[in-house]
């Protein structure tokens, strides 16, 4: 079964957290897919992955681009795995994909200050456990380090 990690964002926004998680995935040799729900978020992530750091960027494409299958990171609004990613990041309340078992890991990043996001994350946790996935809950400490809480 797929390992599903829940990241409770409280101290840093998605735009700060996601690039470092994607970088770590690429260091492992994993292709990555990032799924959002809205066109606005997808566009913001697309821009942000190019400019999140003065020293580097994350090469990527949206799934609408003809070379998406060859990209290490693909941004999408829908299910499917155009670049054969080993890891999928779900943001903005994106649902667990029907092909969840095809990934080594799925990371669900949710805004800890948004009540609706918290409720949805709890529902996704319950659903993932019922489907037999291995689940873990990560939260940032006061120093910004991630620690496993469950």
Contacts of 91 (CB under 8 A, 6+ apart): 14, 18, 34, 35, 36, 37, 41, 45, 109
Tell me the C-alpha distance between 111 and 98, whole Å: 23
Tell me the C-alpha distance between 142 and 107, whole Å: 21
pLDDT in tens, 32-53: 999 999 999 999 999 999 888 8
CA distances from 119 to 39, 102, 125 (A): 23, 26, 10
Confidence (pLDDT) at 142: 77
Helix (H) or strand (E) run with residue 61 in it = strand 61-62
% of the chain with per-residue pLDDT over 90 = 80
Given a cut of 50, the residues of the chain with pLDDT beneath it are none
Confidence (pLDDT) at 30: 97
Confidence (pLDDT) at 145: 82
């Amino acid at each position: 079964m797929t390992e599903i990690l829940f990241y409770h964002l409280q101290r840093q926004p998605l735009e700060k957290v996601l690039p470092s998680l994607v970088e770590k995935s690429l260091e492992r040799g994993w292709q990555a897919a990032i799924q959002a729900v809205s066109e606005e978020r997808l566009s913001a992530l697309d821009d942000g992955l190019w400019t999140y750091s003065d020293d580097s960027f994350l090469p990527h494409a949206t799934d609408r681009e003809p070379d998406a299958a060859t990209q290490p990171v693909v941004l999408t609004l829908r299910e499917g795995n155009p670049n054969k990613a080993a890891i999928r990041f779900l943001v903005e309340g994106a649902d667990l994909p029907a092909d969840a078992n095809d990934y080594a890991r799925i990371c669900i990043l949710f805004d800890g200050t948004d009540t609706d996001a918290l409720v949805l994350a709890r529902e996704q946790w319950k659903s993932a456990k019922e489907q037999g996935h291995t689940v873990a809950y990560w939260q940032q400490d006061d120093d910004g380090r991630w620690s496993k809480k469950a």
